[in-house]
Amino acid sequence: MTAPAAAVQAVHASARHEFSKDAAPQIELLAGLGVAGDAHSGATVKHRSRVARNPHQPNLRQVHLMHAELFDELALQGFAVSPGQLGENITTRGLALLDLPEGTTLHLGSDAVVRLTGLRNPCHQIDRFQRGLMQAVLDRDADGQLVRKAGVMAVVLASGLVRAGDAIRVELPPGPHDPLRPV
């Protein structure tokens, strides 16, 4: 049996600083900025906690990607979570996002290109969404190290439209590879 091809399952955006994002038929990625019309779009940080610390730091969190397989895992634990509800812009399927190294380039559809900058560090808002969800998106590896499963963050290298069903092509950076760390 062959592995499923990596693809975009759903896309989301929200002009408001809210936890969940609205489903959309397509989103437009803008080079150096993020998702057009999204509250987190911009060359400098837009996440409120980061703005409070230093509003001039670069925005390494322009696009949030999450693997749909996480929703499958959460469902087995009794959580009802669907794409966009955890704040991601792009929901993927068939791609082990968390295993990719820092600097990986993802080609989304025909034109859009993003570069992975790090892991999303889940915050207390997840438990406000559904009690116990924060613990469910955290784990420990065989060495006891914390594993964050709430998706990855990226910056936009090339503009383009992204839609559900678009293929995802992965381009690894030159080695040696560094694992993704929280950004």
Per-residue pLDDT reduced to its tens digit, 122-135: 888 898 899 999 99
Note the pLDDT of residue 51.
Answer: 83
Domain boundaries, the chain: 7-169
pTM reported for the whole predicted model: 0.95
Mean residue pLDDT across the chain:
94
Q: Kindly state the average pLDDT of the residues 161-180.
A: 97
Note the pLDDT of residue 48.
Answer: 78
Query: What is the percentage of the chain residues whose pLDDT exceeds 70?
Result: 98
- Summarize pLDDT for 136-148 with one digit per residue, the tens: 999 999 999 999 9
How far the first Cα of the chain sits from its last, in Å, is 36
Structure tokens that stand for 21 in this block: 């994002």
Give the architecture-level CATH label for domain 7-169: Beta Barrel (2.40)
Note the pLDDT of residue 52.
Answer: 84
Note the pLDDT of residue 147.
Answer: 93
Closest CA to 183 of 27, 31, 58, 33: 58
Residues 162/30, Cβ–Cβ less than 8 Å: no
CA 9 to chain centre: 13
Q: Return all residues near 153 (Cβ < 8 A) that are at least 6 apart.
A: 60, 61, 62, 63, 64, 65, 116, 117, 118, 119, 120, 183
Residue 154 has pLDDT above 90, yes or no: yes
Strands (DSSP E) along 26-82, which ranges? 26-30, 34-35, 63-67
Residue 65 has pLDDT above 60, yes or no: yes
- Summarize pLDDT for 2-56 with one digit per residue, the tens: 556 999 999 999 999 999 999 999 999 999 999 999 999 999 998 878 888 898 9
For residues 18 and 40, give the distance between their C-alpha atoms in angstroms, rounded to a whole number.
10
